[in-house]
Structure 1
Amino acid sequence: MSTTTDKHNERIASMTFASVYPHYITKVEKKGRTLEELHQVITWLTGFDINKLNDLIDEKVTFKTFFEEASLHKNAYLIKGVICGYRVEEINNKLTQQVRYLDKLVDELAKGRKMEKILRTE
Structure 2
Amino acid sequence: MSDIPADLKYIDTHQWVRVAEDGTATVGITDYAQEQLGDVVYVGVPDLGVTVNGGEEAGVAESVKSASDVFSPVTGEVIAVNEALEDEPEKVNEDPYNAGWMFRVKLADAGELDGLMDADAYAEHIAAEL
Work out whether the TM-score is over 0.5.
Answer: no
Q: Which has the higher helix share?
A: 1
Q: TM-score, structure 1 length as denominator?
A: 0.28
Higher RCO (CA 8 Å, separation ≥ 6 residues): 1
